[in-house]
Structure 1
Amino acid sequence: MPSSGKIVIGQIHAYESQKPMLKLEYQYKDKTETGNLVIKLRTHSDQDESRVITLATGIKLNREFNYLIHLSPGGALGVSAAGYQWDSQISATWRNKPLYFKAGVYVQDNTGYTSEGGQVTFSKLDIDHDK
């Protein structure tokens, strides 16, 4: 685990943009030895700062859980993980942006030691695209 305790495990990005619409991030807390799953969301494409929503708390390291990110053509966004669900509507400003989903291990730490890293195991990855 990086010293920041933060690893992004899922995202929605816009092509040629450095500001993702959504990040699903695990945030480990040394004090409790558990982590939270948070959603970092920019509901409008011109928004600079993300809104942070805590989706689940108390998730132990090495605990297996599922997550699902769903975005409808009409802008209905749903995120479920570890038995919790959160829904919202995104702005039409995203409608003409070419969006794509990412799953992986994106360590959110630029200050720790170079020997630090993160590890996530995906046992199944499924992508559906409906228009």
Structure 2
Amino acid sequence: MTFRPCFNNITVGGVTYRLGDVIEYSLEVTGGGQLVIGINGYRFETPTDVEWSATPFYFKAGAYVAVGNGGAGLSDPSTEGGWVVYGALEVLHA
């Protein structure tokens, strides 16, 4: 995956998505400790560190928005921020 510093575009599997594009994604941690990320049919897998094996995982549905000066209180809430719109959200536990 390639992330552009401007955060307006993201390129996954050779396809560039722009701000406002609809994407379908999934996150999974397998019983064998693999982190599996799916984005519009592109699949990326990476092992998790064995030290995490005894730690429960959770995922947050939403946006991690960094505003202003790294969140140092210098942001203007009238012009900065972000949102995420979900068409559907499915949670499964194994």
TM-score (norm 2): 0.73
Matches within 5 A, 1:1-131: 29=6, 34-36=8-10, 55=12, 58-111=16-69, 112-115=75-78, 116-130=80-94
Partner of 2:9, secondary structure, is: strand
Distance, in Å, in 2 between the alignment partners of 1:36 and 1:108 is 17
* CA apart distance, 1:27: 5.8
Partner of 2:63, secondary structure, is: strand
Bigger shift: residues 95-104 or 121-130 = 95-104
Q: Structure 1 residues 91, 35: closer, same or farther in 2, change over 3 A?
A: same
Computing the radius of gyration over CA atoms, which structure comes out larger, 1 or 2?
2
Cα deviation 1:69-97 (Å, max 9, x = unaligned): 11012201110113321111112100111
Structure 1 gap segments, 5+ residues each: 1-25, 38-54
More RCO (CA 8 Å, sep 6+) = 1
Note if contact 1:28-1:36 (Cα within 8 Å) is conserved in structure 2: no
Distance, in Å, in 1 between the alignment partners of 2:27 and 2:6 is 24
Cα deviation 1:1-43 (Å, max 9, x = unaligned): xxxxxxxxxxxxxxxxxxxxxxxxx86738xxx4116xxxxxx
Q: How many pairs align? A: 85
Note if contact 1:68-1:79 (Cα within 8 Å) is conserved in structure 2: yes
The letter for the 2-side match of 1:93 is E
Q: Sequence identity of aligned pairs in percent?
A: 27
Distance, in Å, in 2 between the alignment partners of 1:28 and 1:59 is 14
TM-score (norm 1): 0.55
More strand by share: 1
The letter for the 1-side match of 2:24 is N
